[in-house]
Amino acid sequence: MLFQVGHMGVVGAQVARAACTDPRTYWADTRDDMYYVLRRISVPAFFALIGYGLLAATFAVAILIFLGAANRLGTVYLTFIIREISPLLTSAVVAGAIGAATTSELGSRKIREELDALRVLGQDPIRLLVLPRVISLIAITLAYNILGILMTVTEGLIVVSTLGDVEPNSFLTTFMENITVPEIIGNLIKMTLIGLLIGVISASKGMTCGYGAEGVGRAVNQSVVICLTAAYAMDVLFNMILLATNPSVTVLR
């Protein structure tokens, strides 16, 4: 356990060093990796965001209708979606699809001794294989988080207008009155850190997996579980810091 945590820290430090060393050379690899990943997971991720967003919207509207406060959904949605649901939902989609694929690919390269071959040739596996995937994971995490927020807010607007008999303008007005700049900036920073965590953990598990198909399979399962746990811990910790340093975001209007 301590070895794995330490290796994740080492991989994170090596990724930061590689990113600062000649930063003009790895953007083409990052673009190619991002295109490859998006081509594979765009459709399932899109439908996952739709399904979970609709579930969250229906659940929130049902509770507020029961309490007789359906017109306050815009206020609840700010804390319910931007602060909690969208980051965790995006983390689950990214870790379960892209993070697992990253671990599987690096693990397969390890058991075929490709990583050792790169080192023998004087190449850095972190620079060639890990850094572009970490950067693309951060960018995709941010993109899917924004997409998830837009889709979930739209679904909430449709559901509350249909089931709650609330005017769309009322929902949008209360939502926009409560959203603040620190909330938006905090969400983007949090998702950047979560994307970085998922990338580093997935790469570390792939590079330290056991030999054979069983070793790669175990590494993929452990990677997804650790990524989700780390994302949840980061979400809770960051929200505590955000609320403590910006008391204005706790005021519901």
Q: Considering the entire predicted model, what is its pTM?
A: 0.88
The mean pLDDT value for 145-163 works out to 83
Phi-psi region of 166 (alpha: psi -120 to 50; beta: other; left: phi over 0): beta
Has residue 73 got a pLDDT over 80? no
The mean pLDDT value for 217-240 works out to 90
The mean pLDDT value for 204-225 works out to 86
b/e map of 222-232 (b: 16 or more CB within 10 Å)?
ebbebbbebbe
Q: Which long-range contacts (CB under 8 A, 24 or more apart) does 243-251 make?
A: 246/180, 246/182, 246/186, 248/180, 248/182, 249/180, 249/182, 249/183, 249/186
Name the band, by pLDDT with cuts 50, 70 and 90, for residue 2.
Answer: low
Average pLDDT taken over every residue of the chain:
83
pLDDT digits (tens, 9 = 90+) for 158-204: 887 887 777 778 778 877 877 888 888 888 999 999 999 999 999 88
pLDDT digits (tens, 9 = 90+) for 114-139: 888 888 888 888 888 888 889 988 99
Name the band, by pLDDT with cuts 50, 70 and 90, for residue 253.
Answer: low
Give percent above pLDDT 70 in the chain. Answer: 97
Q: How far is CA 123 from the centre of its chain?
A: 30
Domain boundaries along the sequence of the chain? 43-250
Cα-based torsion angle of the residue sequence 214, 215, 221, 223 in order, rounded to the nearest 10 degrees: -170
Has residue 243 got a pLDDT over 80? yes
Crossing angle of helices 27-67 and 131-163, in 10° steps, is 20
